[in-house]
Amino acid sequence: MLNEVSKIRRGGKRVAVYPGSFDPATYGHLDIIHRSSKIFDNLIVAVIDNPNKKPFFTTSQRIKILKDAIKEKNVTVESFNGLLVNFMKKKNASIIVRGLRAVSDFEYEFQMALTNRKMYNNIETIFLTPAEKWTYISSTLVKEIAKLGGEIKCFVPGNVEKLLKKPRS
């Protein structure tokens, strides 16, 4: 598989896309970003702009949060809407990075990987698990804890914590 990944290059570089809503970004997301940046020459963190999901943060807020939190030089953050495969083609990227926290994530992610490859056969999906200390946390859980007044600084960067604690109008 790694030999196949090394063949997928743009201008001699391995370009991967890590898509998600990142609403909000957690330390689990940042762990996947950090480790992916070591594997691929370029990593695009692709923030989905899907108003039907009714995100807590706007797309521009999520992009800013990620840009402020990401230190790796070979990582860029962009938004996209529509099909991921169309974004991949536009970016000339062929590797999708997906995080798996638990076995329960696998079935959906496996189905998506096969569907994406059917629509664009140059795509390979790489699954990474976050560090063990982040496997149980999700954006949904973080938002719920914050909404109920719980402590979230151990799950998210400081900029996210401040925004989640800010009163919403």
Taking a C-beta distance cutoff of 8 angstroms, is the pair 65, 130 a contact?
A: no
Q: Decide if 101 is catalytic.
A: yes
Number of domains forming the structure of the chain: 1
Q: Decide if 34 is catalytic.
A: no
Q: Is 1 domain-assigned?
A: no
Cα separations in angstroms, 93 against 53, 121, 141, 142: 25, 12, 31, 31
Q: Decide if 54 is catalytic.
A: no
Q: Is 2 domain-assigned?
A: no
First to last CA, the chain: 49
Taking a C-beta distance cutoff of 8 angstroms, is the pair 62, 19 a contact?
A: no
Q: Is 151 domain-assigned?
A: yes
* Catalytically annotated residue among 64, 101, 117, 138: 101
Q: Is 121 domain-assigned?
A: yes
CATH value at residue 20: 3.40.50.620
pTM over 0.85: yes
Q: Decide if 138 is catalytic.
A: no
Q: Is 61 domain-assigned?
A: yes
Q: Is 8 domain-assigned?
A: no
Per-residue pLDDT of the chain (169 residues; tens, 9 = 90+): 444 444 444 456 889 999 999 999 999 999 999 999 999 999 999 999 987 778 999 999 999 999 999 999 999 999 999 999 999 999 999 999 999 987 777 888 999 999 999 999 999 999 999 999 998 889 999 999 999 999 999 999 999 999 888 776 5
Q: Are strands 124-128 and 95-99 parallel, antiparallel or unpaired?
A: parallel
Residue span of the structural domain in which 156 resides: 14-165
Taking a C-beta distance cutoff of 8 angstroms, is the pair 12, 147 a contact?
A: no
pLDDT for 29 equals 96
* Catalytically annotated residue among 29, 62, 98, 143: 29
